[in-house]
Structure 1
Amino acid sequence: MAAFNELLEKFHEIAGSPKKQLDSYLAQGKKVVACVPVYTPEELIHSMGLVPMGAWGGDIELKESKKYFPGFICSIMQSILELGIRGEYSGISAIVVPSLCDSLKCLGQNWKYAVKDIPFIPMTYPQNRKPDSGKEFTKASYERIIKDLEAATGMTFSQDSLARSNKIYKEHNEAMRKLTEVLEQHPSITAVQRRDIFKSAYFMEKEEHTALVCQFMEALSQVEETESKIRVITTGILADSDGLLKIFDEHGLQIVGDDVAHESRQYRTDVNLELEPLDGLADKFSRMDHCSVLYDPEKKRAGYIVDLAKKYKARGVVVLLTKFCDPEEFDYVMVKRACGEAGIPIIQIEVDRQMVNYEQAGTMIEAFKDML
């Protein structure tokens, strides 16, 4: 039990102190590259001997970033820029920003003017990612990123190194998918602890995180469960706030599965190791689906969430809607309709990086629990 608690504490410490992790890597002489959501090609960065580190913003008061953004824009983007202006990313070699939504496009352009000492590298993905032309476009974008990274860091790229990184990331994906299945059987793990395990992955080298997750699952297998909670699915871009997640535990709700961009969406698709490494990475993106920021005219994500709820025998779906996130807002209509047709209760809770008071969310979740 001591090892089990120690592992939980380690995940919590890493998830809560990314600056400490950054400083540790820099002290080791490693070069770090910030990776902005939602899908930055971390494998490329890792293969060049660089440390990819997630940049999803933080729950902070926004001041300087308001000079560059209007008030009605995603607070994740605003807080990333705010942290950059404050110098919280000091020491990193570059920041890679994918252009998967209008807010992300604005972030990259604003970064060039607001944080001049950290090079901005754009990652341009095609909307039509599945045809051969889309894969070729993605591959060409990766090749341009490689050149930009080489110029910014002095490191070099090789296909052999990428092949090794692709394998490392595939193993991490498999571990994280297995983790979800294991956590489903352990309602004693709190929502905050579950978040810590997922979040810590953004601030560690993936092979190190995979080893830690495997140790944790082995330790968890020795824990006997006595608790029983109401099973729910979460969906959205981000489920990060301690204040919000603690409400789940206060009302006896267990997150048994998720469709959260910051969590399980990252691990659903594996690279095909039989292809040439760069082709395999482009092919991987072409096969990614069920996400609000990926082109999906049929809106298959709605059906995916229903199937996920059925798979995990969830009593309801909690939509954590990031304020001013247009792609998520557009999808919500279809998700709500699909859940209604399937007879699955659904609730929407608006979240924001600047929120400090979750009393209203608590009231809504309490009412939702009573309904379930």
Structure 2
Amino acid sequence: MDVLNKLLAEFHDIAENPDKQLQSYLSEGKKVVLCAPVYTPEEIVHSMGIVPMGAWGADIEIKEAKKYFPAFICSIMQSILELGITGKYKGVSAILIPSLCDSLKCLGQNWKYAVKDIPFIPMTYPQNRASEAGKKFTRAGYERVIKDLEKATGASFSEESLWNSIRVYNTHNAAMRKLSDLLVEYPQINASQRSDIFKSAYFMKKEEHTELVNKFVRALRESSKGKDKKIKIVTSGILADSRNLLNILDDNNMQVVGDDIADESRQYRVDTDTKSEKSSLDALSAKFSDMGNCSVLYDADKKRADYIVNLAKNTGANGVIIFMTKFCDPEEFDCVFVRKALDSADIPSTVIEVDRQMANYEQAKTAIQTFKEMLS
């Protein structure tokens, strides 16, 4: 148990102190590139000997970013820009921002004017990603990213290095999927601790995080399985890492047995085919074309709704909590279809609005308590 607690404390420290992790890499002489959400091609950054570090914002008061953004826009974008303006990212070589939603497009353009000392590198993805034209478009985007990274960092790209990085990321994907499945059997690992493991991955090199996760899995298997009778839930949304919010889940004896969260399991569903005869960039483009079941990825059939229903059934969840990021249009559009599908399958669900600037969680607490009573 001491090993488990030590590892959990390490995950927590990294998740809660990304600035310390950033300074550690910079002090080692490593170059760091920020990777904004979602599906940023971290493999390319990693392959060039650069540390890709997640930039998902923080629970802070927005002041300077208000000069560039309207109030009614995703607070993740606002807080990323706030951190950039206030110098929290000082020392990084660039920021890589995909354009999968309107808010991300605004973030990139505003960043150019507000944070002049950190270059902005765009990654433009196609929405019709599965066609051959879509794959070629994605590859062209990756080629532009490579050129911009070379200019910003002085690093060079190689085919062999990208294949090596793809393998590193595939290994990490597999480790995270295994971990998520295993945690269902160990209810003593609470929602806050589970979040720490996922969140810490954004601030570490993936091979380092995989090593930690594998140590944790070994230690967990050597411990006794929990016998706590908790309420099993599946979570869905863009972000669910607020400590106050997670504490409410823990206080209400809820166990997260699966998630459809953008900064958690959505990142790890699809691997890059390493057995393909394609080039590494073509293989990486094919990976993106295979992605789905996500609000920011075009899907005319809205198969994500069925995905969440099946996830709840397969994990034995008692219900689904949808954490709705305030002013996130893609999630709000999908919410209607998801809830209809859950209702049709007789799976209880509730929607909790979340925001990077939330200060009072009483409304969320009341809603979750009511949901608990409905499931009990």
Structure-1-length-normalised TM-score: 0.99
How is 1:178-193 mapped onto 2 (pairs within 5 angstroms)? 178-193=178-193
Number of residue equivalences: 372
Deviations 1:1-40 (A, max 9, x none): 1111100000000000000000000000000000000110
Q: Distance in 2 between matches of 1:185 and 1:358?
A: 29
Q: Distance in 2 between matches of 1:307 and 1:61?
A: 38
The one-letter amino acid paired with 1:17 is N
Aligned twin of 1:207 = 207
1:295 aligned onto 2:298: yes
Aligned twin of 2:112 = 112
Aligned-partner SS, 2:188: coil
Aligned twin of 2:332 = 329
Deviations 1:177-221 (A, max 9, x none): 000011111111111100000000000000010010000010011
Aligned-partner SS, 1:338: helix
Q: Distance in 2 between matches of 1:250 and 1:3?
A: 25
Post-superposition shift, 1:356? 1.6
Aligned twin of 1:126 = 126
1:232 aligned onto 2:227: no
Aligned-partner SS, 2:350: strand
Assess if the C-alpha contact under 8 Å between 1:243 and 1:356 holds in 2: no
How is 1:311-330 mapped onto 2 (pairs within 5 angstroms)? 311-330=314-333
Q: Distance in 2 between matches of 1:189 and 1:56?
A: 24
Of residues 329, 335, 343, the one that matches 1:340 is 343
The one-letter amino acid paired with 2:359 is V
1:89 aligned onto 2:89: yes
Assess if the C-alpha contact under 8 Å between 1:15 and 1:200 holds in 2: yes
Aligned-partner SS, 1:33: strand
1:257 aligned onto 2:223: no
Post-superposition shift, 1:226? 2.5
Aligned twin of 2:161 = 161
Q: Distance in 2 between matches of 1:323 and 1:36?
A: 18
Aligned twin of 1:196 = 196
Post-superposition shift, 1:274? 1.9
Aligned twin of 2:289 = 286
The one-letter amino acid paired with 1:195 is S
Q: Distance in 2 between matches of 1:29 and 1:215?
A: 27
Aligned twin of 1:141 = 141
Give unmatched runs, 5+ long, in structure 2. Answer: none
The one-letter amino acid paired with 2:284 is L
The one-letter amino acid paired with 1:317 is V
What stretches of structure 1 move > 6 A for 4+ residues in a row? Answer: none
Aligned-partner SS, 1:259: strand
1:243 aligned onto 2:255: no
Aligned twin of 2:352 = 349
The one-letter amino acid paired with 2:133 is S
Post-superposition shift, 1:148? 0.3
Assess if the C-alpha contact under 8 Å between 1:32 and 1:53 holds in 2: yes
The one-letter amino acid paired with 2:162 is L
Q: Distance in 2 between matches of 1:312 and 1:81?
A: 37
Q: Distance in 2 between matches of 1:359 and 1:74?
A: 21
For the aligned residues, what is the CA RMSD? 0.5
Assess if the C-alpha contact under 8 Å between 1:77 and 1:107 holds in 2: yes
Deviations 1:248-275 (A, max 9, x none): 1111110000000010000000000023
The one-letter amino acid paired with 2:246 is L
1:42 aligned onto 2:42: yes
Q: Distance in 2 between matches of 1:342 and 1:190?
A: 27
Aligned-partner SS, 1:60: coil
Q: Distance in 1 between matches of 2:98 and 2:230?
A: 38
Post-superposition shift, 1:305? 0.2
The one-letter amino acid paired with 1:99 is S
Assess if the C-alpha contact under 8 Å between 1:125 and 1:137 holds in 2: yes
Aligned twin of 2:369 = 366
Q: Distance in 2 between matches of 1:274 and 1:118?
A: 37
Aligned twin of 2:273 = 272
Q: Distance in 2 between matches of 1:223 and 1:255?
A: 19
Deviations 1:267-325 (A, max 9, x none): 00000002321111000000000000000111110000000000001010000000000
The one-letter amino acid paired with 1:62 is I
Q: Distance in 2 between matches of 1:243 and 1:190?
A: 13
The one-letter amino acid paired with 1:175 is A
Higher deviation after alignment, 215-224 or 192-201: 215-224
